Structure 1
């Protein structure tokens, strides 16, 4: 189960990276076309807008690559405490503490992929099976660490 969730996260990030790279290639072509066909102020404005969009995409790509590298560097071991890479079954749901990707569905299973830097990650960090924490005015019990 943990391996399937890991693979789903990895695939999601790979697709995101690929999509951003494709989009960036399109903007590179657009900048080239803009250079060939435009003159004057309109040219400068169009070119500046394309460069701003490219810059935004480069930032998104860098973040997606950072998350991917973080994900694949996580240990694949079962710990007694909630740590990076832990799949944790709580009384409130299933959480994979890796990177913040949100809800991931694998077969009929739904897990929430969150960072340990997130509020719930901070609340559950280093908890053991059986521990109960209070989070968002609810009691969260750690039922299993996978």
Structure 2
């Protein structure tokens, strides 16, 4: 099941990267096709808006590529005895895949939260082992299994 979660995350990031690349290319084309009109201020404002949007998309693309590379560095078949990057953790509060923060994914009717170890729940559970209990968000969390 961990491999399926890994592949799901990988697919989501690949689609996100592809979509951002396409959108960025469209903005690049729009900027290069922009012709100076008789109203100079309108032209400059439109061009500036296109550049701002390009910058925003480029930042999103850079972040998506960083997450993809981080995910690709993990080995989905590796077994863990404590909560580390790449571990699938079952707690009494739900299932968590500690890799990249992509939110909830469903695999075989099981909801798994894909989160980073830098997230609050990741920081609370990092290096913990099966059977350990912690208090987090005013609830008791118990680690039931780590894969």
Cα distance in structure 2, aligned partners of 1:33 and 1:107: 48
Q: Residue deviations 1:21-62, cap 9 Å, x none?
A: 01001101111221x353411111100000000000000000
Shift of 1:99: 0.5
Secondary structure class of the residue paired with 2:49: helix
Cα distance in structure 1, aligned partners of 2:57 and 2:31: 14
Aligned to 1:134: 135
Secondary structure class of the residue paired with 2:82: coil
- Contact residue 96 and residue 112 of structure 1 kept, 8 A: yes
Aligned to 1:33: 33
Taking only aligned residues, the RMSD between alpha carbons, in angstroms, comes to: 1.0
Q: Which runs of 5+ in 1 are unaligned?
A: none
Matched residues, number: 145
Q: Does the alignment pair 1:52 with 2:52? A: yes
Q: Does the alignment pair 1:70 with 2:60? A: no
User: TM-score, normalized by length of structure 1?
Assistant: 0.96
Q: Residue deviations 1:108-133, cap 9 Å, x none?
A: 11100000011100111011110001
Cα distance in structure 2, aligned partners of 1:128 and 1:9: 24
Aligned to 1:119: 120
Secondary structure class of the residue paired with 1:53: helix
Secondary structure class of the residue paired with 2:112: strand
Secondary structure class of the residue paired with 1:130: coil
